[in-house]
Structure 1
């Protein structure tokens, strides 16, 4: 028998890349890609479904948002993980079949959380002090000096703050709010009150979060409960906001009645900052572009280079663990009880 040192090394696990809409070079820095290719046999199948299907039976993992119906998963006899690098769990995967076959489905949402949280804080400060509004006025020769430009200014310090959702985004935002010493109430029907209390926030119903908050951050995922058969933030809900409230929208748009939102901003009921839209790109003639009480953002809160690079690091770390028969720890696992309730759709 040949000594163990003479035996050929086993072939590294095969990982298929199909990362669109993310370019591979965006999420894998040169250093991360080099380490990735040292540990795995990596094949980029983007744009070549025939090659993907031919290699799928050998694949240890798929990195991307590829359609994986039951028939495809049945052929993927060695598949152990699907790693979504867009940011949401879509209904293009047969999740029950994946779970039954022991395939982990992981999402990269945690990579975006810090970037979105910092941006949400920036939007709130803009709404509090009219920063972008007064910048536009200055450029047009309509600047107002000293107190004249601050008639509606408010402080975030010590304010009543409401969070709708305490997932990745909410948990990243909380430490950024802490120096302002606000009173934070959270509505999240998927978390027990004890979990919210341990996070240092007050559990509250939606009516209280809306009615008692000067600042509201909309951070929840879109689900069957908050977007179908009536949106969570419909006209009646928006009417619960106190006059002069500031509302920041950085989660997906489907839970909000945008016509009702724009009506109330146009009427001067409250101010809002919006990073996510029902239709993207936003039409050139959309009335949102003309509303002075609205801070406009083109779905850019999370998509910064640091976040994209972190996605590649998350993928590398968790695949390395899985190849060692250890559980992933950095990406967000799709929960069997929840994934069928998400109502995400690709941006754009």
Structure 2
């Protein structure tokens, strides 16, 4: 393949920077295999539109409505590197044209799973709470600081959602011999049973769990999936770990439960980010705060670039993508994701 007949790839990955997701060797591989039109610092729609008719792939998540896709006659792949499928793409047209719509969600799964486990251990044992007490001179020693401590080992654990995050978290939890149940309405009970999991209706999972991990994406069906009634069903002392999408939970209802001291929580995602300075969540002792940090670590970002290059190579060779998440035509229109700041 000569330089002139390499497939053209538009690189417009905002909010990512190319150097964040492509290590030098991986970027060199991308440039060797493809003619890269790098629009990272050029947000002029006219520049994008000039390159689009010849584009084999788009790396990024720019607006691709029907009119733009009509001009993209050579387009074979859209590689979303932000982490969410947005409503700014005419997905039915892309699917009808055989354009691969791919997401980078799997790149974050291991990092999020490990962070979720860390939050669970923290709220189980009061680690960051007692650290704060030490810094204010009010620390407690030995049993005095353990009145509400619990073990994760052998605990009744519920996973809400069993996608990328659930599959990454499960092996970490196996080391603790937990009694695990899963609620995921997008998966048949028998599909979960085939991998040794117990499926449970949401009310049952909430009533019995000592730890609940919220791992579900936000869709038209799951907005405020955990409202006041569902949170009230949690047993006293439940540890709630929220690392997927803020809109899955009613934060006013969650605040009430935490303020009453009835449950504890580790929370990584927020309805408004940054969290306002006067937000009442800031004064809660039963909360471990995390500022949307679970997935965005350097190793995860670099994996995105590797996944993009591998799958574009696959598609250019007439093979299916194997590393990125393939958008499901039945689901992509139901997502209610918003950009991560």
User: Is TM-score (shorter-chain normalized) higher than 0.5?
Assistant: yes
CA deviations 1:288-318 (Å, max 9, x no partner) are 1110001111001000000000000000000
Match of 2:322 in 1: 329
Gaps of 5+ in 1: 1-6
Query: Equivalents in 1 of 2:227, 2:132: separation in Å?
Result: 31
SS at match of 1:169: helix
Match of 1:184 in 2: 180
Query: Equivalents in 1 of 2:265, 2:49: separation in Å?
Result: 46
Matched, 1:295 2:297: no
Gaps of 5+ in 2: none
1:198 deviates by 2.2
Query: Equivalents in 2 of 1:38, 1:330: separation in Å?
Result: 20
1:141 deviates by 1.0
Matched, 1:134 2:130: yes
Q: CA RMSD in A?
A: 1.0
> Among residues 306, 309, 318, which one is paired with 1:313 in the alignment?
306
CA deviations 1:296-346 (Å, max 9, x no partner) are 110010000000000000000000000000000000011011111111111
Match of 2:86 in 1: 90
Query: Equivalents in 1 of 2:191, 2:126: separation in Å?
Result: 35
1:139 deviates by 1.1
Query: Equivalents in 2 of 1:268, 1:297: separation in Å?
Result: 19
Query: Equivalents in 2 of 1:315, 1:333: separation in Å?
Result: 12
Q: Is the 8 A contact 2:9 2:57 kept in 1?
A: yes
Match of 1:28 in 2: 22
SS at match of 1:194: helix
1:200 deviates by 2.2
Q: Is the 8 A contact 2:11 2:60 kept in 1?
A: yes
Match of 1:18 in 2: 12
Q: Is the 8 A contact 2:154 2:178 kept in 1?
A: yes
Match of 1:221 in 2: 217
CA deviations 1:78-135 (Å, max 9, x no partner) are 0000000000100000000111111110000000000000000000000000000000
Match of 1:210 in 2: 206
Matched length: 339
1:199 deviates by 2.5
Query: Equivalents in 2 of 1:114, 1:326: separation in Å?
Result: 26
SS at match of 1:226: coil
1:9 deviates by 6.7
What are the equivalent positions in structure 2 for 1:147-186 lying under 5 Å apart? Answer: 147-186=143-182
Match of 2:113 in 1: 117
TM-score in terms of structure 2 length: 0.98
Query: Equivalents in 2 of 1:26, 1:325: separation in Å?
Result: 28
SS at match of 1:83: strand
Matched, 1:74 2:70: yes
